[in-house]
Homo-oligomer: A and B are copies of this chain.
């Protein structure tokens, strides 16, 4: 059995981190699937999905690490060629990858108490994002 749904979210860009756990959990309940796998996948090349303790200190710490990994202020060939100014966002998204797959068991997403599913939007402007939640199981 397969269940498809989408989350549409407005972000502020610049590594905006948005907790989408409740929406994923609602999709799992709506699917009626008890045991299976839920893919959470962001459409687009300048955002990612991961898990983190959704706590403002750690979120700032994550942003600092992203700044070390692909600093915003260095020169990117992408920007020289296309003038988008978001080369750093493309690089961060390619390194963090677009999605995660979460186990579904007992009719719920299996997560730790302090483990939230988040969308991270790396782009250099506010964006409207679509996240796919695709669940396979029985």
| Chain A contact residues, CB within 8 Å of chain B | 1-2, 4, 35-37, 39, 41, 43-45, 50-53, 55-58, 60-62, 65, 68-70, 76-82, 87, 90-91, 93-105, 110-112, 114-116, 132, 134, 136-138
A101 touches B43 (CB 8 A): no
State the copy count for this chain.
Answer: 3
B95 touches A82 (CB 8 A): no
Q: Among the listed B61, B94, B100, B101, which residue makes an inter-chain contact with A51, where contact means beta carbons less than 8 Å apart?
A: B94
- CB contacts (< 8 Å) of A99 on chain B: these are 100-102
B81 touches A45 (CB 8 A): no
B94 touches A136 (CB 8 A): no
Chain B residue at smallest Cβ distance from A42: B112
The prevalent SS among residues of A at the interface is mixed
Complexed CA–CA distance, A102 and B99 (Å) = 8
B103 touches A37 (CB 8 A): no
Q: Among the listed B1, B58, B76, which residue makes an inter-chain contact with A87, where contact means beta carbons less than 8 Å apart?
A: B58
Given A1-B138, A69-B65: A98 in contact with B51 (beta carbons within 8 A): yes
CB distance from A67 to the nearest CB of B (A): 12
Complexed CA–CA distance, A132 and B62 (Å) = 25
A134 touches B58 (CB 8 A): no
Given A4-B105, A61-B90, A100-B99: A45 in contact with B37 (beta carbons within 8 A): no
A43 touches B112 (CB 8 A): yes
